Amino acid sequence: MLVITRREGEEVVIGNPAAPLGIVRIAMIKGDRVRIAFEFPREIDVHRREVADQILKDEESGGGIAGQIRPGDSG
C-alpha cells in the first residue's frame, strides 16, 4: 500500500503520466472530512468499499443487481 500526503487541490496520477489511467484529486478538506475527486474513464468501475463488498456478496450468492434506481414520485 502506498500512503502519501496531499494538500487540497493536489493530485495523484495513476499509470503512465503521459497517458494516465486516472487522476485522484483532493477536492476539499473541511475539519475531519476530505472530499476526493476521481477522474477515470467510464469503463473503469470505481466503488466505495461497502458497495464493492456488496457487489462481491451478491455475485457469490448468485444475485444479480446490488441495488436498483427507481424513478421518483412525479406527484
Query: How high is the pLDDT of residue 61?
Result: 86
Q: 68 falls in which pLDDT band (50, 70, 90)?
A: low
Which CB contacts under 8 angstroms, 24+ apart, belong to 26-34? none
Specify which residues 22 forms β-bridges with: 14
Quick check: 7 pLDDT over 60? yes
Quick check: 75 pLDDT over 70? no
If one compares 65 and 26, the residue with the highest pLDDT of the two is 26
Length, in residues, of the chain: 75
pLDDT in tens, 33-62: 999 999 999 999 999 999 999 999 998 887
For residues 46 and 38, the answer to whether their CB atoms sit within 8 Å is yes
Percent of all residues in the chain with a pLDDT value above 70, rounded to a whole number: 83
The residue ranges of every structural domain in the chain are 11-60
